[in-house]
Structure 1
Amino acid sequence: MTDLCSEPIRLVGGASRCEGTLELKLGTWRPVKASGWTDQEAAAACRELDCGSVVSMGTRSDSSITPFWEIELSCLKSGYPLRQCASPSLLSSSSQSGTILELVCTDLLVQPIISVSSSDGVTGAMQSSSAGVFQGSSFTISCSIQPQYPGGSFQLSFTSSNTPHSYDQPASKHSAHFLFPAAEPAHRGNYSCVYNVHVFSHNFSSQSRVLTLRVSDPTVFIIRLVILLLSLLIFISVIYCSHKTTRGQQTVARRNVDVGDEVREVVEEQEEAAL
């Protein structure tokens, strides 16, 4: 369980630590302004609180002059924690009212798993936060979750060039597989799976971690591989020539030694004959 004494985020005023007004501490505790929030950002806050998934999200008006923390939502969607996406927001007069964010979270659902596989053999491990595929190859984004409740559905969301995309599939054996026939540059971006299920007369959802997908040009990879092989071939040739030259020099040296020995023997024989 998260230690609230050390974490800069909390829910206050609710019946449990997983419901109430969302507050953030950056020097001082302040409520979070609710402007523009959706279930996706609320799910990110619940995960950061170690409170599982979102049950409900609401707002509460405050007409007093209160400093708020305003959250840059695109920053939060990219996977950054709340404290890195916050900036101060101050209402200028008591005639204006601010909307404070209130959340009800639950640990009813576990976090779904997102992974990627492609026709060129590239597979993104479940623990990895990024993966790459080659342009033109087919790839599949898989969403799965541990069996807890029957049914449900998966929503695959990704943002590419600041353009959001979303696909839905019913859960089959607690998983769903989204096939993309050919990888294109437009498929670069951040992907996440959201599992939705209706149980106990409520709708519950849980979001996976963010997976960053890269799409690479295979031509560049081939050129780099050819350059690497040529460099390796040149290196082997240099080593071989160097070794061959060294062996030749050693052979010549041995021959010179043999000739020197023969000359010394002749001189010694002549000296003995003279005596």
Structure 2
Amino acid sequence: RLVQGTNRCSGRLEVKTNQSWSSVCEKDFDLQDAKVVCREIGCGPPSVLQGALYGEAEAPVGSREFLCEGSESALLNCSSRKSSGRNSCSPGQAVGLTCSDNFRLVGEASRCAGRLEMLHQEEWRPVDVWYRYWNMNSAAAVCAELDCGSAVSARKSKEASYRPVWEIKFDCLQSGSALMNYLPYDGNSDQSLEFICSEREQTN
């Protein structure tokens, strides 16, 4: 899991073994390991890997070095070995990881406006959903998922031709549903979804 991050795709890495969570030392973790973690939690590829990015570790730091090849489906499926160092990690060296989100809005100046695209099987495509279930609750779910405040507007747009899209079911786009929990279908459509969100409100 990633904890204390700014969204579900960022935070300090903790690994559960024997019913307890522990942090991972930066020296025992590399980009190949990070790719596996990002895939496992349903996010896009890693963009930042840095110690102490998300605060000091509260959980104990484990003493295993991960030896992922990068294609594994889960971190605990990777080979590992006992860390060459002692069973401690210097302050500020617990792994902090930022993965890219697997949803984005494109085509406008703001990251919180534009056509909804999804990353699945390492391919970005526009998202289409059954029209009759489309409403502003759906838009609110998307804006919340992207950490973009509340929904201002949403519409379906028609493209000039059919192209590959990720089709998702109507219940993926309901307030309180995390889009990452739903697997898309491979499809072709001349429809796409466009949003304007309010941007995130600043809180003190």
If the length of structure 2 is used for normalisation, what is the TM-score? 0.45
Higher relative contact order (CA 8 A, sep 6+): 2
Rg comparison, structure with higher value? 1
- Length-normalised TM-score, structure 1: 0.34
